[in-house]
């Protein structure tokens, strides 16, 4: 089986998860940062796309890739976030990512709470705007 793992990572959490998945996969495989796209061709049996939640949405580069990808293949979606895994925000963003996928069959979904930079937590904690996931990330 030929597999491609594409990831977008700002803090390094999604990259770690992508590397773990890459090392666990058997067969022909390729690991690509989203900044290296587009590829000349996507001749893969399975494509895994990983991204962080950004501002309660799919990270913009990953959202563009998912929305623009029109080939028939199998997809796995995985994401990292500061919220608890079972939070409504996580469910909503995964649903958003799933609706962006057109022709591919989604065969798996995974989310993982990642470490949030303490500087980011401090800055957001000082904000007058409430961030519901902030307490979960501390």
Q: What is the CATH number of the domain that holds 58?
A: 3.40.50.360
Q: Residue 31: what pLDDT?
A: 98
Q: Residue 130: what pLDDT?
A: 56
- Per DSSP (E only), the strands in the chain are 3-7, 29-33, 46-54, 57-58, 74-81, 105-113
> How many domains would you assign to the chain?
1
- Give the residues of the chain that fall short of pLDDT 50: 134, 137
Predicted structure pTM score: 0.84
Domain that holds residue 106: 3-137
Q: Point out which residues pair with 7 in neighbouring strands.
A: 33, 50
Q: Residue 114: what pLDDT?
A: 77
Sole residue written with tokens 């608890």: 84
């Amino acid at each position: 089986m030929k597999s491609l793992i594409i990831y977008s990572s700002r803090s390094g959490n999604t990259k770690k998860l992508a590397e773990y998945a890459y090392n666990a996969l058997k067969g022909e495989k390729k690991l690509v940062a989203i900044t290296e796209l587009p590829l000349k061709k996507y001749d893969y049996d399975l494509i895994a796309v990983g991204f962080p939640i950004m501002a309660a949405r799919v990270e913009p580069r990953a959202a563009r890739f998912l929305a623009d990808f029109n080939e028939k293949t199998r997809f796995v979606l995985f994401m990292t976030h500061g919220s608890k895994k079972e939070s409504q925000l996580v469910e909503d963003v995964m649903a958003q990512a799933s609706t962006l996928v057109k022709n591919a069959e989604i065969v798996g979904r995974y989310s993982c709470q990642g470490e949030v930079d303490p500087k980011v937590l401090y800055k957001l904690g000082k904000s007058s705007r409430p961030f519901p996931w902030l307490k979960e990330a501390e």
